Amino acid sequence: MKKYNVVICGGGSTYTPDMMELLVMLQKPFPLNKVVLYDIDAERQEVVGEFGRVLFKEYYPDVEFSYTTDKENAFDGIDFAFVQIRAGGLEQRKNDEQIPYKYGRIGQETCGAGGLSYGIRSVVQMIDLINDIREYSKEAWIINYSNPAAIVAEACKIVFPDDKKIVNICDMPTDVIGRYLPLVGKKRSEVDCMYFGLNHYGWFTKVLDKKTGKDILPDILNYVVTHYEELREEAKARIRGEDDHWGIVFYNHLTMIKDFPYSLPNTYNLYYMYPKLSYEHYTANHTRYDEVVAGREANVFSFCRKVASLGKMIGTEFDITDKISPYTEFSGEMNSETVYADNDVHAAYLVELVLSIINNKKEMALVMIKNDGIVDNLDPGMMLEATSIIGKEDIIPLKHGPIGQFEKGLLENQYACEKLLVEAILEHSDQKLLQAFTENRLIGDADVAKAMIKDFKEANGDYWPEFK
């Protein structure tokens, strides 16, 4: 039986512990020989790596586990590279989010000006990383989560046009559909979805019951519209104080559905369609960065440190025997009871994709892929996030058909911005850089664009490539 070698790039990511836990759970359907973490920040990665050491030693001792900052050790003989790097780290996320607020604009990780600044760093570092992986493992699948994934995907299309084993993905649509399906008594494993858009800017247009073939999206939307007040009350009650970013986002998401009740939007559409509401979510001195540092990052790292200092999990408060035992014999066949997604959806979605690849299951999943007629009234070059068939050798998108004028207008504007940004980076063009920033709907003013570019250049320091 084939056993796989996996590298997780961005080993020190807050998502790595959960991802490793899922690998431990899925030892039967996705048998592993070697797991290696790779990061450029040795100190940060060590915390997560020491947790991994305990985890694998206790629950998956056959696996050769290590963590490293050495490229050859990390990438040699790899079958899968799972990539979740944050170019510039959280320190640069802070700048990405704070600088736009200075100009009365939304400061966000992937949308608006902050997303463009992050895009510049990410494109540069992702190209290097992919070249490094390819030097040692020509055939490995490279599955990337690193943001801003839309911009990274556009760059990959241009720089690695013939490499069919680079896949950019996002967990947001999976999270969205997973939250709304229970309203009609369904689970994610019971449906196939049609979806289109740019990453963090898209819509579900069909939700097909795998058994009957019936499209149940109208039922979901109708439920939201007819129970709107009730759902808003429930969503409000779930907001745990002002810092509960995702609670607030899903509270506002209900309004977006009610206002445009013919498709199910991505949560990130809120930034473009309700900029005032989104802007008011934060202030210049308090953005999502502050919440992540005090919340997810602090919690994950404290958990890893505690486990590492104990040197064991079994028999302690961190024991996951009960959590993983239903899965140690799990074959990977999804059915209505499949709940490994109660682990973070982030890891679950990635592993579902991997299972479809290694077993050539040809399951439907959303990935970023070149339009080429998926949506025939959009630019054929667009990197759409779209429903595709996932097989061992290739990923084939399903045709979606034409989309409405409203969505087409929004997407064409954003695509022009993202395309210009990638061209600016690859051609070192400051003219295109200014065009990209000015084109962006959340900036929309050349004078503001110029001022922001100046600020970002300064804040990014050595991360900023040359533009002339």
Stretch that binds Mn ion, among 19-27, 39-47, 169-177, 396-404 (CB under 5 A): 169-177
Residue 195 · residue 205 · CB < 8 Å: yes
**Residue 62: active-site member:** no
Q: For the chain, how many helices (H) and strands (E)? A: 19, 12
d(CA 317, CA 292): 24
Task: Give me the residue whose beta carbon is nearest to ligand NAD.
Answer: 12
Q: Which of 268, 271, 272, 279 is catalytic?
A: 268
Binding of ligand NAD by 366 (CB under 6 A): no
- 84's contact among Mn ion, ligand NAD, ligand G6P, none, with CB below 5 to 8 A by partner kind, is ligand NAD
**Residue 268: active-site member:** yes
Helix (H, G, I), strand (E, B) or coil at 272: helix
Contact flags string 62-91 toward ligand NAD, x per CB under 6 A: ----------------------xxxx-xx-
In sequence order, which ranges of 60-148 are alpha helices (DSSP H)? 71-75, 89-102, 112-136
Identify which of residues 141 and 282 has a Cβ nearer to ligand G6P in the complex. Answer: 282
Query: Shortest approach of ligand NAD to residue 14 CB, angstroms?
Result: 4
E-strand stretches of 175-246: 191-198, 201-209
Q: Cα–Cα distances in Å, from 318 out to 35, 60, 76, 311, 315?
A: 21, 16, 33, 11, 8
Taking residue 277's Cβ as centre, other Cβ atoms within 10 Å add up to: 14
What is the signed CA dihedral for 231, 236, 239, 243, rounded to 10 degrees? 130
Residues listed for the chain? 468
- 288's contact among ligand G6P, Mn ion, ligand NAD, none, with CB below 5 to 8 A by partner kind, is ligand G6P
Residues at the contact surface with ligand G6P, assessed by CB under 6 A: 109, 147, 170-172, 288, 292
- Tokens describing residue 420: 């210009």
Identify which of residues 148 and 332 has a Cβ nearer to Mn ion in the complex. Answer: 148
# binding residues, ligand NAD (CB under 6 A): 29
Binding of ligand NAD by 171 (CB under 6 A): yes
Identify which of residues 109 and 352 has a Cβ nearer to ligand G6P in the complex. Answer: 109
Identify which of residues 86 and 188 has a Cβ nearer to ligand NAD in the complex. Answer: 86
CA 94 distance to own-chain centroid: 19
d(CA 434, CA 174): 34
Under rule CB under 6 A, which residues in 95-114 are in contact with ligand NAD?
Answer: 109
Binding of ligand NAD by 271 (CB under 6 A): no
Nearest to 201 by CA among 403, 432, 450, 420: 403
Binding of ligand NAD by 174 (CB under 6 A): no
- 17's contact among ligand G6P, ligand NAD, Mn ion, none, with CB below 5 to 8 A by partner kind, is none
Binding of Mn ion by 170 (CB under 5 A): yes
Identify which of residues 282 and 463 has a Cβ nearer to ligand G6P in the complex. Answer: 282
Identify which of residues 221 and 272 has a Cβ nearer to ligand NAD in the complex. Answer: 272
Binding of ligand NAD by 92 (CB under 6 A): no
d(CA 417, CA 38): 32
Helix (H, G, I), strand (E, B) or coil at 9: strand
Identify which of residues 299 and 360 has a Cβ nearer to ligand G6P in the complex. Answer: 299
Binding of ligand NAD by 10 (CB under 6 A): yes
- Give the residue, chosen from 172, 355, 357, 443, that forms a contact with Mn ion under the rule CB under 5 A: 172
Query: How many CA atoms lie less than 13 Å away from 433 in the CB half-sphere?
Result: 22
Query: Shortest approach of ligand NAD to residue 69 CB, angstroms?
Result: 8
128: Cβ contacts below 8 Å, ≥ 6 apart = none
Residue 92 · residue 121 · CB < 8 Å: yes
Query: Shortest approach of Mn ion to residue 150 CB, angstroms?
Result: 9
Residue 16 · residue 48 · CB < 8 Å: yes
Stretch that binds Mn ion, among 163-171, 208-216, 362-370, 380-388 (CB under 5 A): 163-171
The residues pairing with 8 across neighbouring beta strands, listed in sequence order, are: 37, 82
Which uninterrupted H or E stretch holds 350? Answer: helix 345-358
Q: Longest Cα pair distance anywhere in the chain, in angstroms?
A: 61
Q: Which are the catalytic amino acids?
A: 171, 268
Binding site for Mn ion (CB under 5 A): 170, 172
- Contact residues toward ligand NAD (CB under 6 A) are 9-10, 12-15, 39-41, 44-45, 84-87, 89-90, 109, 125, 129, 145-147, 149, 170-172, 297, 346
